[in-house]
Amino acid sequence: MNLNLFHDVPEGLTQRARSFVGSHGVKVDVQPVEEHRQWWLGRDVPAAVIDRMAAYEEQWGGLVLPPSPRYDGGPRYLEADSPEGSASDGWRFEAGVQRTAVPYAFMIGPSGEFGIHAGKWVPLHATVAGWVESLALTHHVSGCAQQIVKVTGDEVDGIVLDGYKPVREVQGMADTWWRSADSLVAIYSGEAEALSFPRIRTALIYSGLDDWGLRGGVEDSDD
């Protein structure tokens, strides 16, 4: 497997995420989706779904990023594969192979969501860019926070988010980020929902942040 720097940073990311991908991302070779098009068409996968897979791979294929603090690190690298679904329920496809042995697959949903599937489909972020933004924000704030506190299970419901605003660039669904005047809170609910196991719901509270720590130069027009 060949490793190269990831020079073609996808559009639509904040400057913080673009810097993160450009500095820490590498690219590996992946099999082109088009090599499998006829095989999938012969198994009743709609051409439009294969087109979505090809577009995903064109934008994100082969990207390797530092691991997520949850989901045992996330995908090893991004690559489209294994489409599944139906006209009534929508079609998903694999977003990339697991980095470690986790009981779910990382998938791209019918509307482009990034999520996990373990017999139940749970979108984590509304787009792949949202997932990448969350990784970039984790990397950034981990080096800025004066204190990081981990909260799990029922204690997550005790986190008071009055005065916090959602961090919009992560496009959170099951997983969300929240910003106050001096803190960031990341709430990870995806595994708990997918596995029907509320005790593994987790939050990370990053406190003691200045403006650079809170945003990394990214402005929020709603602030």
Question: Each residue of 197-213: pLDDT tens digit?
Answer: 999 999 999 999 999 99
Q: Which residue has the tokens 């400057």?
A: 15
pLDDT digit string, tens, across residues 54-87: 999 999 999 999 999 999 999 999 999 999 999 8
* Closest to 213 measured CA to CA, from 168, 180, 191: 180
Q: What is the mean pLDDT of residues 176-188?
A: 97
Highest mean pLDDT among 5-9, 85-89, 124-128: 124-128
CA distances in angstroms from 154 to 53, 108, 143, 188, listed in the order given: 38, 29, 28, 13
Position 131 pLDDT exceeds 90:
yes
Sorting pLDDT into bands at 50, 70 and 90, what band is 4? low
Confidence (pTM): 0.94
Predicted pLDDT at 189: 98
pLDDT digit string, tens, across residues 36-47: 999 999 999 999
Sorting pLDDT into bands at 50, 70 and 90, what band is 2? low
Position 29 pLDDT exceeds 80:
yes
Sorting pLDDT into bands at 50, 70 and 90, what band is 3? low
Position 190 pLDDT exceeds 70:
yes
Position 160 pLDDT exceeds 70:
yes
Q: What is the mean pLDDT of residues 163-183?
A: 97
CA distances in angstroms from 97 to 14, 172, 191, 192, 204, listed in the order given: 26, 22, 17, 20, 25
Contact criterion met (CB below 8 Å) for 34 and 54: yes
Q: What is the mean pLDDT of residues 2-18?
A: 77
| Residue 187 to residue 134: CA distance in whole angstroms | 11
Contact criterion met (CB below 8 Å) for 109 and 174: no
CA distances in angstroms from 207 to 132, 141, 182, 210, listed in the order given: 22, 9, 6, 9
Position 1 pLDDT exceeds 70:
no
Position 222 pLDDT exceeds 70:
no
Predicted pLDDT at 105: 97
| Residue 125 to residue 134: CA distance in whole angstroms | 9
Show contacts of 154-157: CB within 8 Å, 24+ apart: 154/198, 154/199, 156/187, 156/189, 156/201, 156/202, 156/203
Mean pLDDT over the full length of the chain: 93
Q: What is the mean pLDDT of residues 136-158?
A: 96
Structure tokens at 43: 């198994």
Predicted pLDDT at 221: 42
* Closest to 17 measured CA to CA, from 136, 178, 172: 136
Length of the chain: 223
